[in-house]
């Protein structure tokens, strides 16, 4: 195991230990204060919004469209969600009451989907993603200066930021889907940093004294997904045949960089629990694959494989891997047509359960099995078709205790059932490396969160970073795309976040938090003196308005871009007042 992988496993154990201590505590514990030297920025997708203006419009000054309630509450816990109420106890205290214990709640709220918006501004935009993207108003260390669609975003430092000010006055975020082009931008001096160095370029960067390579064992998974309600994948034998017909080792060997490994199971084995080394995935066996297809009467199948042409740490060569899968399945008598889709539209289609056979992956939002297994195989996720009741029951067992042995026993059940049903094929955990110019101070890659541009310093007026794709929007409550989160994270902040380079929680807009003994009531003490980019003062009402817009389907601001609010339903179940 590499040093970074060992470090991540320690972080995962620490996170699990923290949950265990919280579960056993009779008195609450507060979150640690962040070190003064580190900014507390937040952090491991959809049809593009309308074109943003080249210059942000004037900040809104109109009166709020509606009063913000001090408490939003479900009448009971039979509506299908896990939250009972969200309440502003006073101007700087928020209490969340749950229907069942959830030791992972603080980790969940540290994600960019839960960044806080100004309540009056949210009312003025009606929660519309396009309106918010045109003029995003957050509390982060950077403001958006302009977004030229198809070209780049420019951020400028926010002079009234409550924490440590941004180290570089201006940041430019651009994108290119080609790893070679990103590296050329860096080598030519047109960029200061790039995401996802190509597998063949690690040594090139290492040998260049003008550059620096930053590697990390980023917890992720690349998988081949099926929808069990769409023929021919509604037949268990077809999905199992594909599992036998895919040579995962060949894919990782030929198309992945160092630090990558063939997936044992869906959860990275660097986590404290969740992976099951004693339950390995189906071995490559094309003869078994052919026999299953013959048994199912599905010989000479013709299917369409869809994917988005976006490089990610879990899939560094999407086009080449798609063609490799096409060639491998040809060997078992399956003819595959490849269809490349626009990133946002593809992700929307997968979320809606409309893609029968596709390539996708996941990067961790926090270091626990629930972020991988519950998110994807819980009752709210429709991407694989109809959820499996026995998997859902085992997931609940694993999430309801902090005992490592009991949790692993539950996840062993889950992994046995995933192997039986084959809703997807786990292929690889990808090695990840970013590259920077040698004079970039504070260069980093985070294991479970977005880059913190405010922490990086260059001896120039602006810092230029090139990522893999254009952001989909700047309202991340209704997004799940990593490139989108990178942009949001510079502007907006959640209640909690992760320390740079770690999966350790630290305060952001909440200075501290505590829970009752059974982990059903969580109280967050908010930071005073925080200003939004439009000059508004951050208070508890902003937290209530932000969460209510996601949770309550009857809320006038429950709009977003698609209205899916995928992270909310994955973490907390059904919407309130859902029809």
The stretch 400-409 carries a mean pLDDT of: 88
Burial classification of residue 427, based on how many CB atoms lie within 10 Å of its CB (0-12 exposed, 13-18 middle, 19 or more buried) = buried
Same domain, 390 and 470: no
Confidence at 399, pLDDT banded by 50, 70, 90? confident
Kindly indicate the confidence band of residue 217, based on its pLDDT and cuts at 50, 70 and 90. confident
Whether residue 8 lies inside any domain: the answer is: no
Answer whether residue 270 is part of any domain.
Answer: yes
Q: Which residue has the higher pLDDT, 44 or 200?
A: 200
* Number of domains into which the chain is organized: 2
Q: What is the pLDDT of residue 66?
A: 55
Kindly tell me if the per-residue pLDDT of 286 is higher than 70.
yes
Q: What value does the mean pLDDT take over residues 275-299?
A: 97
> Are both 438 and 330 inside the same structural domain?
no
Task: Provide the pLDDT for residue 47.
Answer: 33
Percent of the chain scoring above 90 in pLDDT? 81
CATH of the domain at 438: 3.40.190.10
CA 271, CA 213: separation in Å to the nearest integer? 25
Asked if residue 24 belongs to a domain, the reply is: no
Are 253 and 385 found together in one domain? yes
Spatial distance between the Cα atoms of 94 and 104, rounded to a whole number of angstroms: 17
Question: In this structure, is residue 552 part of a structural domain?
Answer: yes
559 falls within a domain: yes
Say if residue 58 is in the same domain as residue 165.
yes
Q: How far apart are CA 222 and CA 241, in angstroms?
A: 19
pLDDT tens digits for range 351-385: 999 999 999 999 999 989 999 999 999 998 999 99
What is the C-alpha separation between 197 and 238, in angstroms, rounded?
36
Residue 255 lies in a domain: yes
Bridge partner list, 172: 154, 464
Do 425 and 436 lie in one domain? The reply is no
Q: How far is CA 324 from CA 254, 327, 330, 422, in A?
A: 10, 5, 10, 20
- pTM of structure: 0.81
If asked whether residues 227 and 300 sit together in one domain, one would say: yes
Mean pLDDT of 93-118: 95
Average pLDDT of the segment spanning 292-298 = 97
Residue 14 counted as domain residue: no
pLDDT in tens, 407-451: 999 999 999 999 999 999 999 999 999 999 999 999 999 999 999
Domain co-membership, 410 together with 437: no
Residue 347, sorted as left (phi over 0), alpha (psi -120 to 50) or beta, turns out to be alpha
Same domain, 273 and 197: no
**CATH code, 244:** 3.10.105.10
At residue 399, what are phi and psi to the nearest 5 degrees? -85, -10
Give the 3-state secondary structure of 112-140. Answer: HHHCCCCHHHHHHHCCEHHHHHHCCCCCC
Question: Of the ranges 55-69, 220-234, 293-307, 451-465, which one carries the lowest mean pLDDT score?
Answer: 55-69
d(CA 307, CA 90): 47
User: What does pLDDT average to over the chain?
Assistant: 89
Q: What is the pLDDT of residue 380?
A: 87
pLDDT at 275: 95
| Integer angstrom CA distances of residue 421 from 69, 94, 143, 311, 492 | 45, 42, 47, 29, 40
Could you read off the pLDDT of 163-199 as tens digits, one per residue? 999 999 999 999 999 999 999 999 999 999 999 999 9
In terms of domains, do 400 and 491 share one? no
Q: Where residue 16 falls among pLDDT bands split at 50, 70, 90?
A: low
Residue 4: φ, ψ to 5°: -65, -35
User: What pLDDT is recorded for position 70?
Assistant: 92
Give, in order, the Cα–Cα distances in Å from 103 to each of 266, 413, 518. Answer: 22, 21, 9
171 and 291 inside one domain: no
188 and 129 both lie in a single domain: yes
**Domain boundaries, position 144:** 31-214+432-572
- Here the tokens at position 403 are 């005992």
Residues 11-22: b if buried by 16+ CB within 10 A, e if exposed: bbeebbebbbeb
Examine the domain organization and report whether 260 and 347 are in the same domain.
yes
pLDDT at 37 over 60: no
Torsion from C-alpha of 103, 106, 112, 116, nearest 10 degrees: 130
Q: What is the rounded average pLDDT of the residues 91-115?
A: 95
Residue 579 lies in a domain: no
């Amino acid at each position: 195991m590499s040093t970074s992988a060992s470090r991540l496993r320690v972080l995962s154990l620490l996170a699990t230990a923290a949950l265990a201590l919280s579960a056993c505590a009779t008195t609450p514990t507060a979150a640690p204060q962040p070190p003064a030297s580190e900014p507390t920025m937040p952090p491991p997708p959809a049809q593009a919004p309308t074109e943003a203006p080249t210059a942000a419009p004037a900040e809104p000054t109109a009166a709020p469209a509606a009063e913000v309630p001090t408490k939003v509450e479900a009448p009971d816990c039979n509506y299908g969600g896990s939250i009972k109420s969200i309440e502003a106890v006073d101007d700087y205290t928020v209490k969340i009451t749950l229907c069942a214990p959830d030791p992972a709640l603080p980790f969940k709220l540290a994600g960019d989907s839960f960044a806080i918006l100004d309540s009056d501004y949210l009312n003025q935009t009606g929660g519309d993603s396009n309106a918010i993207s045109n003029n995003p108003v957050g509390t982060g260390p950077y403001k958006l200066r302009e977004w030229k669609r198809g070209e780049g975003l420019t951020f400028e430092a926010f002079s009234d930021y409550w924490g440590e000010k941004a180290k570089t006055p201006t940041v430019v975020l651009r994108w290119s889907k080609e790893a070679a082009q990103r590296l050329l931008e860096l080598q030519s001096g047109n960029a200061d940093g790039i995401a996802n160095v190509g597998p063949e370029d690690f040594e090139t960067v290492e040998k260049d004294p003008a550059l620096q390579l930053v590697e990390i064992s980023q917890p992720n998974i690349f998988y081949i997904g099926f929808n069990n309600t769409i023929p021919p994948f509604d037949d268990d034998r077809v999905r199992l045949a594909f599992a036998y017909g895919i040579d995962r080792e060949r894919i990782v060997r030929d198309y992945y960089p160092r630090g990558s490994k063939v997936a044992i199971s869906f959860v990275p084995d660097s986590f404290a629990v969740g992976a099951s080394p004693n339950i390995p995935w189906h071995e490559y066996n094309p003869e078994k694959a052919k026999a299953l297809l013959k048994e199912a009467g599905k010989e000479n199948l013709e299917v369409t494989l869809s994917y988005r042409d976006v490089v990610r740490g879990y899939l560094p060569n999407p086009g080449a891997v798609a063609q490799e899968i096409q060639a491998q399945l040809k060997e078992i008598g399956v003819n595959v047509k490849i269809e490349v889709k626009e990133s946002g539209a593809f992700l929307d289609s997968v979320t809606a359960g409309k893609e029968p056979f596709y390539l996708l992956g996941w990067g961790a939002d926090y270091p626990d099995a629930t972020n991988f297994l519950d998110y994807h195989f819980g009752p709210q996720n429709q991407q694989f078709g109809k959820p499996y009741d026995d998997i859902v029951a085992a997931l609940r067992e694993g999430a309801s205790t902090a005992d490592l042995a009991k949790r692993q026993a539950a996840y062993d059940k889950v992994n046995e059932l995933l192997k039986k049903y084959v809703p997807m094929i786990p292929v690889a955990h990808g090695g990840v490396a970013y590259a920077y110019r040698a004079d970039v101070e504070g260069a980093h890659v985070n294991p479970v969160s977005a880059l913190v541009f405010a922490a990086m310093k260059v001896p120039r007026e602006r810092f230029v970073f090139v990522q893999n794709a254009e952001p989909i929007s700047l309202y991340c409550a209704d997004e799940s795309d990593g490139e989108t989160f990178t942009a949001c994270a510079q502007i907006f902040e959640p209640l909690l976040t992760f320390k740079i380079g770690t999966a350790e929680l630290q305060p952001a807009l909440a200075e501290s938090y505590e829970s009752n003994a059974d982990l059903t009531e969580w109280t967050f003490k908010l930071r005073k003196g925080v200003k939004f980019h439009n000059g508004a003062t951050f208070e508890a009402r902003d937290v209530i308005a932000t969460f209510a817009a996601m949770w309550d389907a009857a809320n006038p601001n429950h709009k977003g871009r698609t209205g899916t609010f995928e992270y909310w339903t994955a973490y907390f179940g059904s919407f309130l007042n859902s029809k």
